[in-house]
Amino acid sequence: MTSVVPKPPVYERLHYREILAVSIETFKSNKVRFALTALGMVIGTASLILVVTIGLTGKQYILRELNSIGTNMITADYEGGTIYGGSTSNDFMTLDDLKAIRAQVPGIVAASPMIQLHDQIPVPGGKERDVLILGVSFEYQFVRNLVIPSGRFFDDYDTNARNKVAAITKPLAIRLYGSEDAAVGQPIKLNGLPFTIIGTFKERVETFGQSEISDDTILIPYTVGRYFTDTDAVKELFFSMSDSDRVPLATQEIQQVLQSRHRPESVYKAENLTQLLDVAAKVANALTAILLLISAVTLVVSGVGIMNIMLATVSSRIREIGVRKAVGATNQEIRLQFLTEAVLISLVGGVIGIVSGLALPVSLRFLTDYRVPISGLSVIIALVVSSMVGVLFGTVPATRAAQLDPVESLRYE
């Protein structure tokens, strides 16, 4: 015979409703006090939401800027010397190395060799200026994610035909000809040979001179750059992968191919931006964590405010507590009553703070094209933290109210 679990009496099911109703009535009779107490939680939770939003936005911006440089890009260069520190003849990379790597490493969608030259060109004012000339292939534009504001970049036909064409940086075009558009079509002499400027270029993201491109850089076809060198050595190799997930493994494979094609003692280095991206992400996360700690201090201060107000509320309601105990209220019920009020203040403030904190990023999403990141986890954390603050800082006042002597409370004036 199965036993039937009896349903709890109706008065027990309504017990918590009564506690909630009493709490709401208390707030209605002390609206100003309730609003000022909840204000601290509003500010605290709103700042927590905004801090997470700012942190995610900053992280998104940093990663997007680094992506613009080329997260799929891998560079390889010859470091010189030997792994044992001895001296030996140079063992530079060549165009054959690039061809071998493209054949042996899957996933490469673009590649370019680079040779480096230097020259001086006349500038307005009768002076000469040092310029950096880089001989690259037409795929260099895609590997380095370059922007072409005016004219065009040289193509495969220019490279194969060894056309004497050049692309110059935007700052150099303005310095020499006054504007980017005016530079296109102008003749320029490099190392004694006449070239025609067919376009201007710039990096998609400003690297402030921390890349191979400077303000006074001129790009020419690699095949033409060979006219000025007496060897087939290249200074650097550039590769772009079809999938960013392949970059770490491909970096190792490129280095292995280079090492296998040269003397064992020669030192080569293949690098990518993955490590830089990881560092940037960690820095952004660390800054977000620090800002979250600052927001947590605000929440703690709000919790102390709630505790102070609830202690004052207990003092002003001593007689009420005595009456409730006289008619049968237990210490647990008195404790639960005041704890409920503290949690309600904290939760209401937290919800209003969350709405206020989300208002800015949501508005920016609607008013602008920029997709401000919104963290659902931060909303959950804000709700949990606001509830915990109410419980932690409401426990002391609730315990003090429960411990009041009913006889002394009834005598209290």
Distance of alpha carbon 67 from alpha carbon 244, whole angstroms: 10
What is the SS3 assignment for 410?
Answer: helix
- In one-letter notation, the amino acid at residue 410 is L
Q: What is the largest CA-CA distance in the chain?
A: 111
One digit per residue, the tens of pLDDT, for the chain of length 413 reads: 455 545 444 434 446 677 777 777 777 777 777 787 788 788 888 887 887 777 777 777 776 666 666 558 889 999 875 544 444 568 889 999 999 999 999 999 999 999 999 999 988 877 888 999 999 999 999 888 888 999 999 999 999 999 999 999 989 999 899 888 899 999 999 988 999 999 999 887 665 445 788 889 999 999 999 888 878 889 899 999 888 778 889 999 999 999 999 988 888 999 887 766 677 777 777 877 777 777 777 777 778 878 887 887 777 777 877 887 787 777 888 888 888 888 888 888 888 888 888 887 788 777 776 677 777 777 787 788 788 888 888 888 888 877 877 767 666 65
Distance of alpha carbon 144 from alpha carbon 64, whole angstroms: 15
Residues sharing a CB contact under 8 Å with residue 42, sequence separation 6 or more, in sequence order: 349, 350, 352, 353, 356
Measured from the Cβ of residue 41, the count of other Cβ atoms closer than 10 Å reads 29
Distance of alpha carbon 404 from alpha carbon 320, whole angstroms: 11
Tell me if 254 sits within 8 A of 239, measured CB to CB.
yes
Give me the residue spans of the domains in the chain.
11-65+279-411, 72-272
Tell me if 154 sits within 8 A of 165, measured CB to CB.
yes
Distance of alpha carbon 321 from alpha carbon 410, whole angstroms: 8
Distance of alpha carbon 11 from alpha carbon 332, whole angstroms: 16
**Among the residues of 210-330, which ranges form H helices?**
222-225, 247-261, 274-316, 318-326
